[in-house]
């Protein structure tokens, strides 16, 4: 039977954790993801410093310009005249400040409230995670919110603030899903990405090159479907169409803030001026919904027990799987291959040696415990998250008047101001990281390296903290870390080294494999 919201919020809280590498385990032990239970959801934890009192207070520089004209000018600079990184760099130089005012796309005519206070350093940025100071309601995509017609008429979890009762219920449902399917993650990843490697090798043999992204899209969707829902898309009416439908559906949501590579006039007169009608994607979305509904019976049963309707639960499962998880793997996996490929054969050899040795010591099996004994591999994953986070834009609305610190000044923010942070600038802050613009594979190895993990912020929170019902940190943080590690483990068990070519796409890097050297030891 469904329970009331009040009773559900006091039910046991499930938290996903990685086991400690210090504990001795048999070589065939496969713990995957462990769940611990506490009686009550912990309160939201402040990750910002106390109200600043020592730094000089400076007026926030910059302005928003005239209505309509200012936002349109900033939009032209952001997408076309300068590009995103130069847009922010030029304003840091102009104002001599990492905190300033500007407008963020899309602006008119999709939204007439594009005004933001920008936070571009590692000290000010974390206020965006502090739900005692900022509200996260309807700011997942920034200064506008896509139509709920694209999500079944519901505001899904990503758009909810932790103060809203549904937030805890829906996040608890995702914890339940991850915990209940933990034993299937490693074997299903192996099966799905074995198919990917076979496809890459076949394409290389035929044409001398292979698109990693195309193969990864199908492998990621298959893996998520099989591991989380015990469903093989190829055996259903959905077939192999899942990744293409998801990509189209995401375009309807994020189109206003994407650079598609079309002529400027065409982009400006279409995706930046009006919303693409949800009716155009309705039939395709229904195919995704039917697939997840028919594959999620046990999770939907749990949803009803928590007091969530099966329909709302299914739309949230679809969003979490397709937008959050699949979207993350689509963006991040090519990025990590890009950075490791560019790092060269010395890093490849070190990774191959470490990974193969740890797996041999674990009796030839890939286990969570074995991966805890791969410090370089773990560091490489963290470094990829640091230098190229899969979700680079973060937003939050000030709940009250605040003082926010950068390294040099404090700034007064008014209640209701929309705060925005461009994460790659915060995680490449040269006052926190040495050689901040470089990919340093072993940056997080050892005691001193591990101290820097609190500044790795890819998951909508610090790497050193965990998702809870009371915060907005990614519910699947540990899951995403695990599958990213699995990618490297599977890759370097099979290959000694590889070569790539890198281009760009609307959703991240376009990586083409040009050679793969099979394992020689």
**Mean pLDDT across 113-141:** 98
**Mean pLDDT across 138-144:** 97
CB 24 within 8 A of CB 184: no
- Report the C-alpha gap between 150 and 407 in whole angstroms: 41
- Report the C-alpha gap between 518 and 362 in whole angstroms: 22
Percentage, residues of the chain above pLDDT 90: 88
* pLDDT single digits (tens) 419-431: 999 999 999 999 9
pLDDT at 11 over 50: no
- Report the C-alpha gap between 465 and 7 in whole angstroms: 27
Helix and strand counts by DSSP (H, E) for the chain: 18, 12
Q: Structural domain tally of the chain?
A: 1
Torsions phi, psi for 184 (to 5 deg): -100, -5
Place 506 in a pLDDT band, splitting at 50, 70 and 90. Answer: confident
Q: What pLDDT shows up at residue 45?
A: 40
Percentage, residues of the chain above pLDDT 70: 90
Total number of residues shown for the chain: 521
**Binding-site positions for heme:** 474
**Mean pLDDT across 25-48:** 38
Beta strands 418-422; 115-119: pairing state: parallel
Residue 22 burial (10 A CB sphere; 0-12, 13-18, 19+): exposed
Considering Cα of 356, then 359, then 361, then 365, what sign does the dihedral take? Answer: negative
* Cis? peptide before 412, omega within 30° of 0: no
Token pair recorded at residue 446:
């050892």
**Mean pLDDT across 217-226:** 98
- Report the C-alpha gap between 360 and 195 in whole angstroms: 23
**Mean pLDDT across 160-176:** 98
Task: Say if 142 falls within a structural domain.
Answer: yes
pLDDT at 33 over 60: no
Domain membership of residue 387 as a residue range: 57-518
DSSP 439-463: --TTTT-HHHHHHGGGG--BTTB-T
Beta strands 393-398; 418-422: pairing state: antiparallel
**Helices 297-306/165-180 angle, 10° precision:** 150
Q: What pLDDT shows up at residue 248?
A: 97
CB 42 within 8 A of CB 491: no
Helix (H, G, I), strand (E, B) or coil at 404: strand
**Binding-site positions:** 474
Place 5 in a pLDDT band, splitting at 50, 70 and 90. Answer: very low
Q: What pLDDT shows up at residue 156?
A: 98
45-54, 77-86, 228-237: least confident range: 45-54
Torsions phi, psi for 3 (to 5 deg): -105, 165
- Report the C-alpha gap between 41 and 168 in whole angstroms: 9
Task: Say if 447 falls within a structural domain.
Answer: yes
Q: What pLDDT shows up at residue 51?
A: 63
pLDDT at 114 over 70: yes
* pLDDT single digits (tens) 226-279: 999 999 999 999 999 999 999 999 999 999 999 999 999 999 999 999 999 999
Task: Say if 10 falls within a structural domain.
Answer: no
Q: What pLDDT shows up at residue 3?
A: 33
CATH of the domain at 87: 1.10.630.10
Q: What pLDDT shows up at residue 139?
A: 98
Q: Which residues on neighbouring strands pair with residue 501, listed in sequence order? A: 512
pLDDT at 50 over 70: no
Task: Say if 50 falls within a structural domain.
Answer: no
Task: Say if 319 falls within a structural domain.
Answer: yes
Q: What pLDDT shows up at residue 53?
A: 60
* pLDDT single digits (tens) 186-218: 999 999 999 999 999 999 999 999 999 999 999
At a CB cut-off of 8 Å and minimum separation 6, what does 515 contact? 204, 498, 499
**Mean pLDDT across 308-316:** 98
Residue that has been written with the tokens 């509904």 in this structure:
293
Residue that has been written with the tokens 């993650």 in this structure:
185
Task: Say if 110 falls within a structural domain.
Answer: yes
Task: Say if 9 falls within a structural domain.
Answer: no
Helix (H, G, I), strand (E, B) or coil at 518: strand
Among 34, 36, 35, 28, residue whose Cα is nearest residue 367: 28
Task: Say if 41 falls within a structural domain.
Answer: no
Mean pLDDT, the chain, integer: 91
């Amino acid at each position: 039977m469904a329970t009331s919201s009040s009773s559900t919020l006091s039910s046991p809280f499930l938290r996903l954790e990685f086991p400690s590498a210090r504990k001795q385990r048999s070589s065939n032990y496969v713990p995957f993801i462990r769940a611990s239970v506490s009686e009550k959801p912990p309160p939201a934890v402040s990750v910002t410093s106390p109200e600043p009192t020592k730094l000089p207070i400076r007026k926030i520089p910059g302005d928003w310009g005239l209505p309509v004209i200012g936002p349109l000018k900033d939009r032209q600079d952001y997408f076309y005249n300068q590009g995103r990184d130069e847009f922010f760099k030029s304003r840091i130089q102009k104002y001599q400040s990492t905190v300033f005012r500007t407008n963020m796309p899309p602006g008119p005519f999709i939204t007439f409230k594009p005004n933001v206070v920008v936070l571009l350093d590692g000290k000010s940025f974390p206020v965006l995670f502090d739900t005692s100071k900022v509200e996260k309601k309807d700011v997942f995509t920034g200064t506008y919110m896509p139509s709920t017609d694209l999500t079944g008429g519901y505001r899904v979890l990503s758009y909810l603030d932790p103060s809203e009762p549904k937030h805890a219920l829906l996040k608890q449902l995702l914890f339940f899903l991850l915990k209940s399917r933990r034993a299937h993650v490693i074997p299903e990843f192996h099966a799905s990405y074995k198919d990917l490697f076979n496809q890459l090798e076949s394409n290389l043999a035929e044409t001398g090159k292979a698109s990693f992204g195309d193969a990864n899209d199908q492998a990621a969707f298959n893996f998520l479907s099989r591991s989380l829902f015990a469903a093989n898309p190829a055996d259903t009416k959905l077939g192999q169409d899942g990744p293409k439908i998801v990509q189209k559906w995401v375009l309807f949501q994020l189109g206003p803030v994407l650079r598609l590579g079309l002529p400027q006039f065409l982009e400006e007169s279409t995706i930046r001026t009006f919303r693409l009608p949800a009716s155009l994607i309705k039939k395709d979305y229904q195919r995704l919904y039917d697939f997840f509904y028919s594959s999620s019976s046990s999770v939907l049963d749990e949803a009803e027990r928590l007091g969530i309707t099966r329909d709302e639960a299914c739309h949230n499962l679809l969003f979490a799987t397709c937008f959050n998880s699949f979207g993350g793997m689509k963006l991040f996996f090519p990025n990590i291959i890009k950075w490791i490929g560019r790092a060269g054969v010395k890093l490849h050899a070190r990774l191959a040696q470490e990974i193969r040795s740890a797996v041999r010591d674990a009796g030839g099996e890939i286990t969570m415990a074995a991966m805890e004994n791969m410090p370089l591999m773990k560091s490489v994953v963290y470094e990829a998250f640091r230098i190229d986070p899969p979700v680079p834009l973060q937003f939050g609305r000030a709940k009250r008047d605040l003082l926010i610190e950068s390294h040099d000044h404090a700034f007064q923010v008014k209640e209701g101001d929309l705060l925005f942070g461009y994460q790659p600038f915060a995680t490449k802050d040269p006052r926190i990281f040495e050689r901040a613009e470089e990919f340093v594979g072993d940056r997080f190895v050892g005691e001193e390296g591990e101290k820097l993990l609190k500044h790795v912020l890819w998951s909508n929170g610090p790497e050193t903290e965990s998702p809870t019902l009371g915060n907005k940190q990614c519910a699947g943080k540990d899951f995403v870390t695990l599958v990213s590690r699995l990618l490297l483990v599977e890759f370097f068990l099979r290959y000694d080294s590889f070569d790539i070519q890198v281009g760009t796409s609307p959703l991240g890097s376009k990586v083409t494999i040009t050679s793969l050297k099979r394992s020689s030891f």
